């Protein structure tokens, strides 16, 4: 078995667990629909605005450490340098705690000013509660990322895939039973409680994988690994810019429109369309260490073959979701409430943006894991500028459609730059027959589902959805099989060459 085949076999196993985790994370979407249904559109809008601010701020607190350990741990283990791994983990613990506390404090203190800009004094208390999430969320993300750096994906499934969504759903129901407020405070409190519970479980997972507690690393007297810090600084800025690309539309919409109901409507579209990108997120922790090892040995052909296979798998999983959300966007938005269905056009635009992100997003790891974190930062900054300028121009004129188009512009810019750079730096690309066949299958699936919905207009929406989805998936699978599986897929399925 070649090294590429071994990499793809590892990727398949790890990605399956991560994808199962992504499926379980659908519970988070249940949390959002319940929050809107139980507490009302205005309350959900207040919460989703604060959550967008906190998501961006959390990237500052994470400080690029989640991506840094994905490179540091496998690179240290590849050469058997246990001392380097330990020093990196100690540095990770110290930087994470300091950054999280400082950022949480800044957001807490600035909540009144942000709420004033947004035009709602009531949102300041919601944002202050959500600011505390900045302490627990980065801890969960970084510790789970560290466990995945060892190519052990089970704790991502347990902590982020199963426990965290269930905790969020349970907490929003419990809070609703005891506090039926009409603002975003109960939703924020439910999110905060679930987040702290998940962080406790993440601490246990980290100890289980590395055999050392997070707090012993935090209070150890070991020296800071400044090389590691130097590496993650541009990553942290890039991650901040990247998160801003996907949340600046919500934040600017809140500033311009100053109507919690409009923000709620667009927030529901953002949450729903993110399902498409979640597919790729399942492959990120797998691609990153494999890219780190391949670039460390300058085996760019190995990286290209692995990238091509993973992008094909992402397409096979993301395209059916894209089709369903594009054709039946109004149906899914009504899960939040009947008034949300009016935003179906904005949802369709966001689905295109997330499809671009999903199909081309893995190129980022070829850039970052080759040590070019500064280049990744530049890519993110350019995309952020494009998104911001587009939103500033379009939102006052077209409202939520303008915000969605601004998001799409940012995605096209960001992922286009990465794809071009991977080709220039490594002479690697993914646009081969296996991926084109998947794209063709997705197009056929889209046409079939649109045709069935138009023909079955007299039946109930959910009946039509079930029939058209089954017909579309059959066509999708037939095209995939007719155009042929890749050799790696045949080996994984024990079909031989």
Q: DSSP readout, 97-138? A: HHHHHHHHHHHHHHHHHHHHHHT-TTHHHHHHHHHTHHHHHH
346 with 261, same domain?
yes
- Which of 431, 452, 477 is a domain's end point? 431
**What Å distances lie between residue 80 and 74, 291, 480, CA to CA?**
10, 18, 42
pLDDT per residue, tens digit, the chain (497 aa), is: 565 556 556 555 555 655 666 666 677 888 999 999 888 888 888 898 889 889 989 989 998 888 888 777 877 776 677 777 788 888 888 999 999 999 999 999 988 887 777 665 556 888 899 999 999 999 999 999 888 888 777 788 788 888 999 999 999 999 999 887 767 889 999 999 999 999 999 999 998 888 888 888 888 887 787 888 888 888 788 888 888 888 888 889 888 887 878 888 998 999 899 889 888 887 877 777 677 776 766 767 878 888 888 899 999 999 999 999 999 999 999 988 888 988 899 999 999 999 999 999 888 888 887 778 788 889 989 999 999 999 999 999 999 999 999 999 999 999 999 999 999 988 888 899 999 999 999 999 999 999 988 887 666 778 888 899 999 999 999 999 999 888 877 877 765 54
Mark whether 226 and 246 lie in a shared domain: yes
Task: Please state the domain count of the chain.
Answer: 2
The pTM score is 0.80
Task: For residues 366 and 493, state if they share a domain.
Answer: no
403, 431, 459 - which closes a domain: 431
- 173 and 63 within one domain: yes
Residue from 307, 374, 291 nearest 71 by CA: 291
| CB contact at 8 A, 389 and 396 | no
Q: How far apart are alpha carbons 232 and 224 in whole angstroms?
A: 13
Task: Please spell the DSSP secondary structure of 235-278, one letter per residue.
Answer: HHHHHHHHHHHHHHHHHHHHHHH--HHHHHHHHHHHHHHHHHHH
Range of 260's domain? 3-431
Last residue of a domain, one of 400, 431, 462: 431
Q: Count helices and strands (H / E) in the chain.
A: 23, 0
Separation of alpha carbons 320 and 323, rounded Å? 5
Residues 32 and 175 in one domain: yes
């Amino acid at each position: 078995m070649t090294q590429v085949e071994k990499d793809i076999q590892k990727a398949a196993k790890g990605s399956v667990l991560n994808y199962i985790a992504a499926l379980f994370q659908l519970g988070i979407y249940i949390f959002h629909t319940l929050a809107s249904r139980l507490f009302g559109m205005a309350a959900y809008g207040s919460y989703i605005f604060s959550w967008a601010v906190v998501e961006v701020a959390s990237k500052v607190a994470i400080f690029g450490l989640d991506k840094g350990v994905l490179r540091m741990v496998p690179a240290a283990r590849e050469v058997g340098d246990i001392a380097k791994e330990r020093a990196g983990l100690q540095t990770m613990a110290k930087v994470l705690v300091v950054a999280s506390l400082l950022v949480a404090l800044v957001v807490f203190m600035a909540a009144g000013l942000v709420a004033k800009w947004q035009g709602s004094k009531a949102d300041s208390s919601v944002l202050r509660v959500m600011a505390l999430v900045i302490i627990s969320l980065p801890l969960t993300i970084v510790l789970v990322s560290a466990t995945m750096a060892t190519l052990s994906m089970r704790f991502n499934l347990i902590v982020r895939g199963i426990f965290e969504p269930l905790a969020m759903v349970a907490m929003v129901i419990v809070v609703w039973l005891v506090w039926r407020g009409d603002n975003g405070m109960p939703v924020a409190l439910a999110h905060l409680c679930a987040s702290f519970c998940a962080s406790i479980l993440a601490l246990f997972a980290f100890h289980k994988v590395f055999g050392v507690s997070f707090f012993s690393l935090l209070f150890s007297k070991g020296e800071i690994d400044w090389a590691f810090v130097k590496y993650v600084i541009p990553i942290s800025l890039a991650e901040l810019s990247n998160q801003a690309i996907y949340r600046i539309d919500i934040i600017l919409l809140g500033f311009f429109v100053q109507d919690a109901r409009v923000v709620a409507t667009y927030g529901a579209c953002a949450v729903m369309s993110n399902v498409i990108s979640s597919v790729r997120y399942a492959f990120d922790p797998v691609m990153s260490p494999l890219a780190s090892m391949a670039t460390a040995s300058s085996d760019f052909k190995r990286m290209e073959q692995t990238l091509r296979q993973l992008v094909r798998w992402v397409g096979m999983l993301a395209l059916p979701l894209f089709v369903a959300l594009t054709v039946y966007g109004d149906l899914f938005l009504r899960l939040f409430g009947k008034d949300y269905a009016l935003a179906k056009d904005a949802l369709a635009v966001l689905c295109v943006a997330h499809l671009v992100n999903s199909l081309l997003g893995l190129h980022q790891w070829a850039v970052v894991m080759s040590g070019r974190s500064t280049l990744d930062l530049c890519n993110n900054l350019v995309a952020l500028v494009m998104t911001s300028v587009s939103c500033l121009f379009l939102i006052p004129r077209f409202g939520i459609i303008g915000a969605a188009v601004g998001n799409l512009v940012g995605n096209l810019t960001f992922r286009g730059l990465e794809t071009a750079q991977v080709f220039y730096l490594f002479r690697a690309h993914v646009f081969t027959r296996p991926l084109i066949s998947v794209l063709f299958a997705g197009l056929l699936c889209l046409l079939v589902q649109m045709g069935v919905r138009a023909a079955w207009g007299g039946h109930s929406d959910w009946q039509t959805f079930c029939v058209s989805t089954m017909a579309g998936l059959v066509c999708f699978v037939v095209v995939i099989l007719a155009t042929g599986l890749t050799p790696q897929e045949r080996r994984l399925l024990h079909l031989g060459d």
